[in-house]
Chains A and B, each alone.
Chain A
Amino acid sequence: MQANTSTTKKAGSINNAFASHFAKSMFLSVLGLLILSFIGTRMFTHVDLNLYGYMVGTIVFIGGFFYRFIAWGERPPAKIFIKKGIKLLFRKSTPQTTAEHLITYRFIWNRGIYRWTQHILIGFGCILSCFVTFPLVFGWMYFTMDDNGMYNIIFMGIQVMTVSAEGIIAQLSYNALNITAVMVITGVCMVLYRRLKNMQARAEQTFMYDFLPLIMLLLVSVTGLALTFMNMFLHGAGQPFMSLIHQWSVIITLIYLPFGKLAHIPFRPLSVFARNYREHYMEQAPKPCKVCGDYFVSVEQSNDVINVLGTNDIEFAKKEGFHLAELCLPCRRKYRIAQFSGFPTHQVKVKEANQNANG
Protein backbone atom coordinates (compact mmCIF):
# COMPACT_ATOMS: atom_id res chain seq x y z
CA MET A 1 0.00 0.00 0.00
CA GLN A 2 2.89 2.34 0.60
CA ALA A 3 3.88 2.31 -3.04
CA ASN A 4 0.39 3.41 -4.03
CA THR A 5 1.04 7.00 -3.19
CA SER A 6 4.49 7.43 -4.66
CA THR A 7 5.24 8.50 -8.17
CA THR A 8 6.59 5.88 -10.50
CA LYS A 9 6.80 8.18 -13.47
CA LYS A 10 10.31 9.45 -12.92
CA ALA A 11 11.71 6.31 -11.41
CA GLY A 12 14.88 6.60 -13.47
CA SER A 13 15.95 10.03 -12.30
CA ILE A 14 14.92 9.30 -8.71
CA ASN A 15 17.06 6.24 -8.65
CA ASN A 16 20.08 8.11 -9.93
CA ALA A 17 19.87 10.78 -7.29
CA PHE A 18 18.98 8.14 -4.79
CA ALA A 19 22.08 6.03 -5.21
CA SER A 20 24.44 8.94 -4.64
CA HIS A 21 22.38 10.49 -1.82
CA PHE A 22 22.13 7.18 -0.11
CA ALA A 23 25.83 6.37 -0.40
CA LYS A 24 26.76 9.81 0.83
CA SER A 25 24.45 9.83 3.85
CA MET A 26 25.44 6.32 4.76
CA PHE A 27 29.14 7.06 4.51
CA LEU A 28 28.90 10.24 6.58
CA SER A 29 26.83 8.63 9.34
CA VAL A 30 29.04 5.59 9.72
CA LEU A 31 32.09 7.83 9.70
CA GLY A 32 30.46 10.05 12.33
CA LEU A 33 29.69 7.05 14.51
CA LEU A 34 33.23 5.77 14.14
CA ILE A 35 34.78 9.08 15.08
CA LEU A 36 32.50 9.46 18.11
CA SER A 37 33.31 5.93 19.22
CA PHE A 38 37.01 6.54 18.67
CA ILE A 39 36.88 9.56 20.97
CA GLY A 40 34.42 8.01 23.40
CA THR A 41 36.37 4.81 23.92
CA ARG A 42 39.69 6.59 24.31
CA MET A 43 40.96 5.28 20.97
CA PHE A 44 39.07 2.00 21.15
CA THR A 45 40.59 0.94 24.44
CA HIS A 46 37.21 0.55 26.18
CA VAL A 47 35.03 -1.33 23.68
CA ASP A 48 32.48 -3.67 25.22
CA LEU A 49 32.44 -6.53 22.75
CA ASN A 50 29.33 -8.02 24.36
CA LEU A 51 27.47 -5.24 22.66
CA TYR A 52 28.90 -5.95 19.22
CA GLY A 53 25.59 -7.34 17.86
CA TYR A 54 23.79 -4.11 18.64
CA MET A 55 26.43 -2.19 16.77
CA VAL A 56 25.82 -4.18 13.61
CA GLY A 57 22.07 -3.85 14.14
CA THR A 58 22.35 -0.08 14.42
CA ILE A 59 24.35 0.20 11.23
CA VAL A 60 21.81 -1.90 9.33
CA PHE A 61 19.11 0.32 10.82
CA ILE A 62 20.84 3.46 9.59
CA GLY A 63 21.05 1.94 6.12
CA GLY A 64 17.34 1.10 6.13
CA PHE A 65 16.45 4.48 7.51
CA PHE A 66 18.27 6.41 4.80
CA TYR A 67 16.85 4.14 2.13
CA ARG A 68 13.34 4.88 3.34
CA PHE A 69 13.87 8.53 4.13
CA ILE A 70 15.49 9.41 0.83
CA ALA A 71 12.91 7.50 -1.23
CA TRP A 72 10.21 9.32 0.70
CA GLY A 73 11.91 12.73 0.52
CA GLU A 74 11.99 12.51 -3.27
CA ARG A 75 8.20 12.62 -3.49
CA PRO A 76 7.26 16.11 -4.65
CA PRO A 77 5.07 17.15 -1.67
CA ALA A 78 7.57 15.86 0.89
CA LYS A 79 10.42 17.62 -0.90
CA ILE A 80 8.65 20.98 -0.62
CA PHE A 81 8.11 20.64 3.10
CA ILE A 82 11.64 19.50 3.79
CA LYS A 83 13.19 22.30 1.74
CA LYS A 84 11.02 25.13 3.03
CA GLY A 85 10.89 23.69 6.54
CA ILE A 86 14.65 23.84 6.90
CA LYS A 87 14.67 27.44 5.71
CA LEU A 88 12.02 28.39 8.27
CA LEU A 89 13.53 26.46 11.14
CA PHE A 90 14.48 29.51 13.15
CA ARG A 91 11.10 31.06 13.73
CA LYS A 92 10.28 32.48 17.13
CA SER A 93 7.56 29.92 17.66
CA THR A 94 9.73 26.92 16.80
CA PRO A 95 10.73 25.98 20.38
CA GLN A 96 7.13 26.02 21.55
CA THR A 97 5.83 24.10 18.54
CA THR A 98 8.62 21.57 18.94
CA ALA A 99 7.85 21.07 22.61
CA GLU A 100 4.15 20.60 21.93
CA HIS A 101 4.64 18.26 19.00
CA LEU A 102 7.61 16.21 20.08
CA ILE A 103 7.73 16.30 23.88
CA THR A 104 4.34 16.91 25.46
CA TYR A 105 2.29 15.53 22.54
CA ARG A 106 -0.44 18.07 23.15
CA PHE A 107 -2.25 17.08 19.96
CA ILE A 108 -2.48 13.49 21.15
CA TRP A 109 -3.85 14.71 24.47
CA ASN A 110 -6.59 16.38 22.45
CA ARG A 111 -7.29 13.07 20.73
CA GLY A 112 -7.88 11.39 24.08
CA ILE A 113 -6.22 10.95 27.44
CA TYR A 114 -6.01 7.18 27.07
CA ARG A 115 -4.14 7.50 23.80
CA TRP A 116 -1.89 10.16 25.25
CA THR A 117 -0.99 8.00 28.25
CA GLN A 118 -0.12 4.98 26.17
CA HIS A 119 1.88 7.13 23.81
CA ILE A 120 3.84 8.85 26.59
CA LEU A 121 4.65 5.52 28.22
CA ILE A 122 5.86 3.83 25.06
CA GLY A 123 7.45 6.92 23.54
CA PHE A 124 9.47 8.01 26.52
CA GLY A 125 10.17 4.43 27.52
CA CYS A 126 11.84 3.88 24.16
CA ILE A 127 13.56 7.25 23.96
CA LEU A 128 15.06 6.98 27.44
CA SER A 129 16.21 3.43 26.77
CA CYS A 130 17.95 4.62 23.64
CA PHE A 131 19.66 7.38 25.57
CA VAL A 132 21.06 4.78 27.92
CA THR A 133 21.92 2.00 25.50
CA PHE A 134 23.33 3.78 22.48
CA PRO A 135 26.15 5.54 24.32
CA LEU A 136 26.99 2.20 25.93
CA VAL A 137 26.96 0.31 22.64
CA PHE A 138 29.19 2.76 20.87
CA GLY A 139 31.42 3.24 23.85
CA TRP A 140 30.50 6.91 24.30
CA MET A 141 29.79 6.16 27.91
CA TYR A 142 31.25 3.57 30.23
CA PHE A 143 31.93 3.01 33.89
CA THR A 144 35.12 2.31 35.76
CA MET A 145 35.27 1.31 39.39
CA ASP A 146 37.81 2.50 41.91
CA ASP A 147 38.84 0.38 44.91
CA ASN A 148 36.87 2.53 47.30
CA GLY A 149 33.44 1.45 46.08
CA MET A 150 33.01 4.49 43.90
CA TYR A 151 31.96 4.38 40.25
CA ASN A 152 33.36 6.77 37.66
CA ILE A 153 31.00 7.66 34.84
CA ILE A 154 33.05 8.35 31.72
CA PHE A 155 31.26 10.19 28.93
CA MET A 156 33.06 10.79 25.63
CA GLY A 157 36.33 9.90 27.28
CA ILE A 158 35.85 12.49 30.00
CA GLN A 159 35.17 11.58 33.58
CA VAL A 160 31.98 13.46 34.35
CA MET A 161 31.01 12.09 37.73
CA THR A 162 32.12 9.87 40.55
CA VAL A 163 29.26 8.29 42.43
CA SER A 164 28.96 5.87 45.29
CA ALA A 165 28.09 2.37 44.12
CA GLU A 166 25.18 2.33 46.55
CA GLY A 167 24.07 5.91 45.92
CA ILE A 168 20.88 7.06 44.32
CA ILE A 169 22.41 8.02 40.96
CA ALA A 170 24.09 4.66 40.68
CA GLN A 171 20.85 2.91 41.59
CA LEU A 172 19.00 4.95 39.00
CA SER A 173 21.47 4.10 36.29
CA TYR A 174 21.44 0.38 37.06
CA ASN A 175 17.67 0.43 37.03
CA ALA A 176 17.06 2.92 34.22
CA LEU A 177 16.36 0.17 31.74
CA ASN A 178 14.14 -1.70 34.18
CA ILE A 179 12.04 1.41 34.71
CA THR A 180 11.73 2.11 31.00
CA ALA A 181 10.91 -1.56 30.36
CA VAL A 182 7.98 -1.35 32.78
CA MET A 183 6.83 1.86 31.06
CA VAL A 184 6.94 0.24 27.64
CA ILE A 185 5.19 -2.92 28.83
CA THR A 186 2.37 -0.93 30.44
CA GLY A 187 2.00 1.22 27.33
CA VAL A 188 2.01 -1.71 24.94
CA CYS A 189 -0.61 -3.50 27.02
CA MET A 190 -2.84 -0.43 26.88
CA VAL A 191 -2.40 -0.28 23.11
CA LEU A 192 -3.10 -3.97 22.66
CA TYR A 193 -6.22 -3.67 24.75
CA ARG A 194 -7.47 -0.81 22.58
CA ARG A 195 -6.61 -2.65 19.39
CA LEU A 196 -8.58 -5.67 20.47
CA LYS A 197 -11.63 -3.66 21.59
CA ASN A 198 -11.93 -0.67 19.26
CA MET A 199 -14.02 -1.48 16.18
CA GLN A 200 -12.32 0.94 13.84
CA ALA A 201 -8.89 -0.26 14.91
CA ARG A 202 -10.01 -3.82 14.36
CA ALA A 203 -11.18 -3.00 10.87
CA GLU A 204 -8.07 -1.24 9.72
CA GLN A 205 -5.21 -2.93 11.51
CA THR A 206 -2.94 -5.47 9.89
CA PHE A 207 -0.57 -7.83 11.61
CA MET A 208 2.62 -6.62 9.97
CA TYR A 209 1.89 -2.93 10.32
CA ASP A 210 0.13 -2.63 13.66
CA PHE A 211 0.87 -5.69 15.73
CA LEU A 212 4.41 -6.66 14.83
CA PRO A 213 6.03 -3.51 16.26
CA LEU A 214 4.01 -3.92 19.47
CA ILE A 215 5.01 -7.54 19.83
CA MET A 216 8.64 -6.67 19.18
CA LEU A 217 8.61 -3.88 21.77
CA LEU A 218 7.01 -6.25 24.24
CA LEU A 219 9.62 -8.91 23.52
CA VAL A 220 12.47 -6.45 23.94
CA SER A 221 11.13 -5.20 27.26
CA VAL A 222 10.21 -8.58 28.67
CA THR A 223 13.53 -10.20 27.79
CA GLY A 224 15.32 -7.16 29.16
CA LEU A 225 13.49 -7.45 32.45
CA ALA A 226 14.13 -11.20 32.46
CA LEU A 227 17.85 -10.46 32.30
CA THR A 228 17.59 -8.40 35.47
CA PHE A 229 15.49 -11.08 37.12
CA MET A 230 18.03 -13.79 36.30
CA ASN A 231 20.82 -11.62 37.64
CA MET A 232 19.14 -10.85 40.89
CA PHE A 233 17.35 -14.05 41.76
CA LEU A 234 18.89 -16.86 39.73
CA HIS A 235 22.54 -15.84 40.08
CA GLY A 236 22.75 -15.30 36.36
CA ALA A 237 21.42 -18.71 35.34
CA GLY A 238 20.19 -18.73 31.74
CA GLN A 239 21.60 -15.29 31.17
CA PRO A 240 23.67 -15.97 28.04
CA PHE A 241 20.68 -17.48 26.29
CA MET A 242 18.27 -14.76 27.33
CA SER A 243 20.74 -12.10 26.35
CA LEU A 244 20.88 -13.59 22.86
CA ILE A 245 17.09 -13.46 22.53
CA HIS A 246 17.13 -9.90 23.80
CA GLN A 247 19.83 -8.89 21.38
CA TRP A 248 18.03 -10.56 18.50
CA SER A 249 14.73 -8.82 19.30
CA VAL A 250 16.39 -5.41 19.54
CA ILE A 251 18.09 -5.90 16.20
CA ILE A 252 14.88 -7.02 14.46
CA THR A 253 13.03 -4.03 15.91
CA LEU A 254 15.73 -1.67 14.65
CA ILE A 255 15.67 -3.18 11.18
CA TYR A 256 11.87 -3.06 11.03
CA LEU A 257 11.65 0.49 12.33
CA PRO A 258 12.07 2.49 9.11
CA PHE A 259 9.54 0.41 7.19
CA GLY A 260 6.58 -0.07 9.49
CA LYS A 261 4.48 1.83 11.90
CA LEU A 262 7.42 3.00 13.98
CA ALA A 263 8.68 4.97 10.99
CA HIS A 264 6.55 7.83 12.27
CA ILE A 265 9.19 8.45 14.96
CA PRO A 266 11.91 9.76 12.63
CA PHE A 267 9.31 11.44 10.39
CA ARG A 268 7.43 13.25 13.12
CA PRO A 269 9.66 16.37 13.23
CA LEU A 270 8.17 17.20 9.83
CA SER A 271 5.04 18.32 11.66
CA VAL A 272 7.05 21.20 13.10
CA PHE A 273 8.16 22.08 9.59
CA ALA A 274 4.57 21.95 8.39
CA ARG A 275 3.37 24.24 11.17
CA ASN A 276 6.15 26.76 10.51
CA TYR A 277 5.41 26.66 6.81
CA ARG A 278 1.75 27.39 7.33
CA GLU A 279 2.30 30.16 9.87
CA HIS A 280 5.09 31.86 7.96
CA TYR A 281 3.46 32.01 4.57
CA MET A 282 0.07 32.89 6.03
CA GLU A 283 1.69 35.98 7.60
CA GLN A 284 3.48 36.78 4.35
CA ALA A 285 0.58 36.53 1.93
CA PRO A 286 -2.79 34.98 2.67
CA LYS A 287 -4.84 33.77 -0.25
CA PRO A 288 -8.32 35.14 -0.86
CA CYS A 289 -10.88 32.66 -2.17
CA LYS A 290 -11.61 33.38 -5.83
CA VAL A 291 -15.33 33.23 -5.17
CA CYS A 292 -16.05 34.71 -1.74
CA GLY A 293 -12.78 36.51 -1.02
CA ASP A 294 -12.20 34.99 2.42
CA TYR A 295 -8.60 34.21 3.30
CA PHE A 296 -8.33 30.48 3.69
CA VAL A 297 -4.69 29.45 3.16
CA SER A 298 -1.40 31.03 2.10
CA VAL A 299 -0.67 31.92 -1.51
CA GLU A 300 2.44 29.79 -1.23
CA GLN A 301 0.61 26.63 -0.18
CA SER A 302 -2.10 27.06 -2.77
CA ASN A 303 0.57 27.34 -5.49
CA ASP A 304 2.60 24.48 -4.07
CA VAL A 305 -0.41 22.19 -4.11
CA ILE A 306 -1.23 23.16 -7.69
CA ASN A 307 2.35 22.37 -8.71
CA VAL A 308 2.44 19.08 -6.83
CA LEU A 309 -0.79 18.00 -8.48
CA GLY A 310 0.74 19.05 -11.79
CA THR A 311 3.67 16.71 -11.32
CA ASN A 312 1.11 13.94 -10.86
CA ASP A 313 -0.71 14.97 -14.05
CA ILE A 314 -3.71 16.20 -12.10
CA GLU A 315 -5.08 19.49 -13.35
CA PHE A 316 -8.13 21.20 -11.89
CA ALA A 317 -8.09 24.47 -13.84
CA LYS A 318 -11.63 25.65 -14.60
CA LYS A 319 -13.06 27.54 -17.52
CA GLU A 320 -14.10 30.29 -15.08
CA GLY A 321 -10.39 31.13 -14.84
CA PHE A 322 -9.47 29.65 -11.48
CA HIS A 323 -7.90 26.49 -10.24
CA LEU A 324 -9.98 24.55 -7.72
CA ALA A 325 -7.18 24.92 -5.16
CA GLU A 326 -7.92 28.66 -5.25
CA LEU A 327 -11.40 28.27 -3.76
CA CYS A 328 -12.01 28.06 -0.04
CA LEU A 329 -13.50 24.77 1.11
CA PRO A 330 -17.17 25.79 1.38
CA CYS A 331 -17.03 27.55 -1.99
CA ARG A 332 -15.33 24.55 -3.57
CA ARG A 333 -18.10 22.30 -2.28
CA LYS A 334 -20.83 24.67 -3.45
CA TYR A 335 -19.09 24.94 -6.81
CA ARG A 336 -19.43 21.17 -7.04
CA ILE A 337 -23.14 21.36 -6.24
CA ALA A 338 -23.33 23.95 -9.01
CA GLN A 339 -21.70 21.49 -11.42
CA PHE A 340 -24.21 18.87 -10.40
CA SER A 341 -27.32 21.00 -10.63
CA GLY A 342 -26.48 23.54 -13.30
CA PHE A 343 -27.47 26.33 -10.89
CA PRO A 344 -24.57 28.54 -9.67
CA THR A 345 -24.93 27.68 -5.97
CA HIS A 346 -21.48 29.09 -5.17
CA GLN A 347 -22.57 32.56 -6.33
CA VAL A 348 -25.40 32.78 -3.80
CA LYS A 349 -24.16 34.74 -0.83
CA VAL A 350 -25.40 32.43 1.90
CA LYS A 351 -22.98 31.07 4.47
CA GLU A 352 -22.61 27.33 4.71
CA ALA A 353 -24.74 26.06 7.61
CA ASN A 354 -26.15 22.94 9.16
CA GLN A 355 -23.25 20.69 8.20
CA ASN A 356 -22.38 19.18 11.55
CA ALA A 357 -24.48 16.55 13.18
CA ASN A 358 -24.11 15.84 16.87
CA GLY A 359 -23.06 12.28 17.43
Chain B
Amino acid sequence: MNKRLYLELENCIGCRSCLAACTQCGGHDERNRNYVYDVNPLVNTQTMPLMCLHCVNPACARSCPAQAIQIHETGAVLSALVEKCIGCQNCTIACPYGIPKFDTEQNLMYKCDLCIDRSKDGIPPMCASVCPTNTLQWLTDEEIERKQKQFNVKNDKWVTSIHLENETNVRVNLPGILQGITKLY
Protein backbone atom coordinates (compact mmCIF):
# COMPACT_ATOMS: atom_id res chain seq x y z
CA MET B 1 0.00 0.00 0.00
CA ASN B 2 1.58 3.25 -1.12
CA LYS B 3 1.37 5.99 1.41
CA ARG B 4 2.37 9.61 1.28
CA LEU B 5 3.33 12.26 3.74
CA TYR B 6 0.34 14.55 4.14
CA LEU B 7 0.51 17.95 5.83
CA GLU B 8 -2.49 19.61 7.40
CA LEU B 9 -0.72 22.83 8.13
CA GLU B 10 -3.05 24.61 10.47
CA ASN B 11 -3.03 21.86 13.10
CA CYS B 12 0.54 22.70 14.03
CA ILE B 13 1.01 23.90 17.60
CA GLY B 14 4.74 24.53 17.30
CA CYS B 15 5.88 21.80 19.68
CA ARG B 16 8.77 20.89 17.38
CA SER B 17 8.46 17.19 18.09
CA CYS B 18 9.04 16.60 14.39
CA LEU B 19 12.41 18.36 14.55
CA ALA B 20 13.47 16.27 17.53
CA ALA B 21 12.23 13.05 15.95
CA CYS B 22 14.05 13.84 12.72
CA THR B 23 17.39 13.85 14.52
CA GLN B 24 16.72 10.31 15.72
CA CYS B 25 16.25 8.67 12.35
CA GLY B 26 18.90 6.05 11.59
CA GLY B 27 20.92 7.88 9.00
CA HIS B 28 20.26 11.44 10.02
CA ASP B 29 23.46 11.87 12.01
CA GLU B 30 21.46 13.49 14.80
CA ARG B 31 20.68 16.55 12.71
CA ASN B 32 17.15 17.53 11.79
CA ARG B 33 16.24 18.36 8.23
CA ASN B 34 12.84 20.00 8.71
CA TYR B 35 11.59 23.39 9.89
CA VAL B 36 8.79 24.94 11.94
CA TYR B 37 7.92 28.60 11.39
CA ASP B 38 5.83 31.18 13.17
CA VAL B 39 3.38 32.52 10.64
CA ASN B 40 3.12 35.96 12.22
CA PRO B 41 5.77 35.84 14.89
CA LEU B 42 5.10 39.02 16.84
CA VAL B 43 1.35 38.76 16.81
CA ASN B 44 -0.04 35.27 17.25
CA THR B 45 1.02 31.71 17.94
CA GLN B 46 0.11 29.98 14.68
CA THR B 47 3.00 27.88 13.43
CA MET B 48 3.50 25.70 10.36
CA PRO B 49 5.97 22.97 9.59
CA LEU B 50 8.01 22.99 6.40
CA MET B 51 9.90 20.07 4.96
CA CYS B 52 11.04 18.71 1.65
CA LEU B 53 7.98 18.12 -0.50
CA HIS B 54 9.74 15.52 -2.63
CA CYS B 55 9.12 17.12 -5.99
CA VAL B 56 8.28 14.91 -8.93
CA ASN B 57 10.77 16.89 -11.01
CA PRO B 58 13.14 18.01 -8.26
CA ALA B 59 15.05 21.23 -8.88
CA CYS B 60 17.72 20.20 -6.39
CA ALA B 61 18.63 17.06 -8.33
CA ARG B 62 18.39 18.82 -11.71
CA SER B 63 20.87 21.46 -10.61
CA CYS B 64 23.36 19.06 -9.05
CA PRO B 65 26.51 18.80 -11.19
CA ALA B 66 27.59 15.57 -9.51
CA GLN B 67 24.35 13.56 -9.77
CA ALA B 68 24.60 13.23 -6.01
CA ILE B 69 20.87 13.53 -5.37
CA GLN B 70 19.16 10.31 -6.33
CA ILE B 71 15.45 9.67 -6.63
CA HIS B 72 14.31 6.53 -4.86
CA GLU B 73 11.81 4.26 -6.59
CA THR B 74 9.22 5.33 -4.02
CA GLY B 75 9.56 8.89 -5.30
CA ALA B 76 11.54 10.10 -2.28
CA VAL B 77 14.30 12.53 -3.23
CA LEU B 78 17.28 11.33 -1.23
CA SER B 79 19.95 13.21 0.66
CA ALA B 80 23.26 13.72 -1.19
CA LEU B 81 25.38 10.62 -1.73
CA VAL B 82 28.36 11.27 0.50
CA GLU B 83 30.94 10.15 -2.03
CA LYS B 84 29.49 12.17 -4.89
CA CYS B 85 28.54 15.54 -3.41
CA ILE B 86 31.22 18.06 -4.41
CA GLY B 87 29.93 20.78 -2.13
CA CYS B 88 28.86 23.32 -4.73
CA GLN B 89 25.57 24.14 -2.98
CA ASN B 90 23.67 24.50 -6.24
CA CYS B 91 20.85 22.44 -4.74
CA THR B 92 20.33 24.85 -1.85
CA ILE B 93 19.93 27.70 -4.33
CA ALA B 94 17.71 25.73 -6.70
CA CYS B 95 15.15 24.30 -4.28
CA PRO B 96 12.02 26.49 -4.46
CA TYR B 97 11.35 25.86 -0.77
CA GLY B 98 14.88 26.37 0.58
CA ILE B 99 15.11 22.89 2.08
CA PRO B 100 18.61 21.39 1.59
CA LYS B 101 21.05 22.16 4.39
CA PHE B 102 24.77 22.37 3.89
CA ASP B 103 27.57 21.40 6.24
CA THR B 104 30.69 23.37 5.31
CA GLU B 105 32.96 21.34 7.59
CA GLN B 106 31.97 18.07 5.98
CA ASN B 107 31.56 19.67 2.55
CA LEU B 108 28.27 17.86 2.26
CA MET B 109 24.64 18.65 1.61
CA TYR B 110 22.00 16.88 3.70
CA LYS B 111 18.26 16.98 3.40
CA CYS B 112 15.05 15.14 4.22
CA ASP B 113 15.02 11.67 2.70
CA LEU B 114 11.58 10.81 4.04
CA CYS B 115 13.41 8.47 6.45
CA ILE B 116 13.93 6.15 3.54
CA ASP B 117 15.01 3.27 5.76
CA ARG B 118 11.49 3.38 7.23
CA SER B 119 9.27 4.68 4.44
CA LYS B 120 10.53 2.23 1.84
CA ASP B 121 8.94 -0.47 3.96
CA GLY B 122 5.75 1.50 4.50
CA ILE B 123 6.67 2.70 8.00
CA PRO B 124 5.86 6.40 8.44
CA PRO B 125 8.79 8.82 8.58
CA MET B 126 9.87 9.90 12.08
CA CYS B 127 8.14 13.29 11.92
CA ALA B 128 4.77 11.80 11.00
CA SER B 129 5.08 9.12 13.68
CA VAL B 130 5.47 11.62 16.49
CA CYS B 131 3.31 14.57 15.47
CA PRO B 132 0.79 14.91 18.33
CA THR B 133 -1.73 17.01 16.39
CA ASN B 134 -1.99 15.11 13.13
CA THR B 135 -0.35 17.94 11.23
CA LEU B 136 1.94 15.37 9.68
CA GLN B 137 0.26 12.17 8.61
CA TRP B 138 1.16 9.13 6.56
CA LEU B 139 -1.81 8.27 4.38
CA THR B 140 -2.89 6.45 1.27
CA ASP B 141 -4.12 8.39 -1.73
CA GLU B 142 -7.71 7.34 -0.98
CA GLU B 143 -7.50 8.62 2.55
CA ILE B 144 -6.12 11.93 1.32
CA GLU B 145 -8.87 12.22 -1.24
CA ARG B 146 -11.52 11.53 1.39
CA LYS B 147 -10.10 14.29 3.54
CA GLN B 148 -10.16 16.75 0.70
CA LYS B 149 -13.79 15.92 -0.06
CA GLN B 150 -14.62 16.44 3.57
CA PHE B 151 -13.00 19.86 3.59
CA ASN B 152 -14.35 21.01 0.26
CA VAL B 153 -17.50 22.96 1.08
CA LYS B 154 -17.59 24.77 -2.26
CA ASN B 155 -18.10 28.19 -0.72
CA ASP B 156 -14.75 29.54 -1.97
CA LYS B 157 -13.53 29.94 1.59
CA TRP B 158 -11.98 26.56 2.17
CA VAL B 159 -8.58 26.16 0.76
CA THR B 160 -8.17 22.49 0.06
CA SER B 161 -5.19 22.67 -2.19
CA ILE B 162 -2.49 25.23 -1.95
CA HIS B 163 -0.51 26.61 -4.81
CA LEU B 164 2.88 24.94 -4.92
CA GLU B 165 5.66 25.61 -7.37
CA ASN B 166 5.46 22.18 -8.89
CA GLU B 167 4.04 18.70 -8.59
CA THR B 168 5.13 17.08 -5.36
CA ASN B 169 4.91 13.66 -3.77
CA VAL B 170 4.04 15.16 -0.42
CA ARG B 171 0.50 16.53 -0.24
CA VAL B 172 -0.19 19.77 1.58
CA ASN B 173 -3.51 20.96 2.85
CA LEU B 174 -4.83 23.93 4.80
CA PRO B 175 -8.43 23.21 5.64
CA GLY B 176 -9.53 26.53 6.97
CA ILE B 177 -8.86 27.97 10.41
CA LEU B 178 -6.71 30.70 8.99
CA GLN B 179 -9.63 31.84 6.90
CA GLY B 180 -11.52 32.37 10.15
CA ILE B 181 -13.60 29.25 9.79
CA THR B 182 -14.05 26.52 12.38
CA LYS B 183 -13.05 23.03 11.44
CA LEU B 184 -15.67 20.41 10.81
CA TYR B 185 -14.18 17.56 12.83
Contact = CB atoms under 8 A, between A and B. Distances in A.
Interface in A1-32: 1-2, 4-6
Given A333-B35, A341-B46, A348-B42, A204 B97 contact: no
A280 interface: no
Contacts of B178: 341-343
B62 interface: yes
Nearest to B39: A341
A334 interface: yes
B66 interface: yes
B165 A333 contact: no
Contacts of A302: 93
Contact of B94 (A275, A325, A340): A325
Interface in B11-52: 16, 19-20, 22-32, 35-42, 46, 48, 50
A352 B99 CA distance: 14
B71 A4 contact: yes
A168 interface: no
Contacts of A278: 88-89
Contact of B66 (A270, A305, A332, A358): A270
Which of the listed residues B9, B46, B89 has the most CB atoms from chain A within 10 Å of its own CB?
B89
B40 A309 contact: no
Given A107-B107, A355-B19, A343 B40 contact: yes
B97 A333 contact: yes
A129 interface: no
Interface string B117-140: 100100000000000000000000
A308 B62 contact: yes
B73 to A, nearest CB: 8
A354 B36 contact: yes
B162 A312 contact: no
Contacts, number: 197
A15 B22 CA distance: 43
Contact of A341 (B24, B48, B166): B48
B108 interface: yes
B148 interface: no
Interface residues of B, number: 71
Interface in A75-91: 75, 77-78, 80-81
A277 B88 contact: yes
A308 B63 CA distance: 6
Given A5-B70, A77-B65, A264-B84, A357 B90 contact: no
Given A110-B106, A340-B9, A341-B46, A5 B64 contact: yes
A316 B39 contact: no
Contacts of B62: 5, 77, 308-309, 312, 314
Interface residues of A, number: 70
Interface in B85-103: 86-90, 92-99, 103
A196 interface: no
Given A271-B86, A278-B89, A336-B98, A111 B106 contact: yes
B105 interface: yes
B111 to A, nearest CB: 12
Contacts of B5: none
A270 B86 CA distance: 7
Of residues B32, B78, B98, which shows the largest number of chain A Cβ atoms within 10 Å of its Cβ? B98
A78 B41 contact: no
A211 B50 CA distance: 35
Contact of B59 (A81, A301, A314, A350): A314
A210 to B, nearest CB: 10
Contacts of B35: 333, 355
A267 B83 CA distance: 10
A329 interface: yes
Nearest to A199: B26
A340 B69 contact: no
Nearest to A335: B98
Contacts of A352: 37
A359 interface: yes
Contacts of A355: 19, 32, 35-36
B146 interface: no
B98 A72 contact: no
Interface of B: 9, 16, 19-20, 22-32, 35-42, 46, 48, 50, 57, 59, 61-67, 69-71, 78, 82-84, 86-90, 92-99, 103, 105-108, 116-117, 120, 162-166, 172, 174, 178
19 contacts: A78-B65, A101-B107, A201-B27, A203-B117, A204-B78, A270-B65, A304-B90, A305-B93, A309-B94, A314-B57, A333-B37, A340-B9, A341-B48, A345-B40, A348-B42, A350-B42, A355-B32, A357-B23, A359-B23
Interface of A: 1-2, 4-6, 72, 75, 77-78, 80-81, 101, 107-108, 110-111, 198-204, 261, 264, 267-268, 270-271, 273-275, 277-278, 297, 301-302, 304-305, 308-309, 312, 314, 316, 324-325, 327, 329-334, 336-337, 339-343, 345, 348, 350, 352, 354-359
Given A203-B116, A355-B32, 17 more contacts: A81-B88, A107-B106, A110-B103, A111-B108, A200-B28, A203-B117, A278-B88, A297-B93, A332-B96, A333-B37, A339-B163, A340-B9, A341-B39, A350-B42, A354-B36, A357-B19, A359-B23
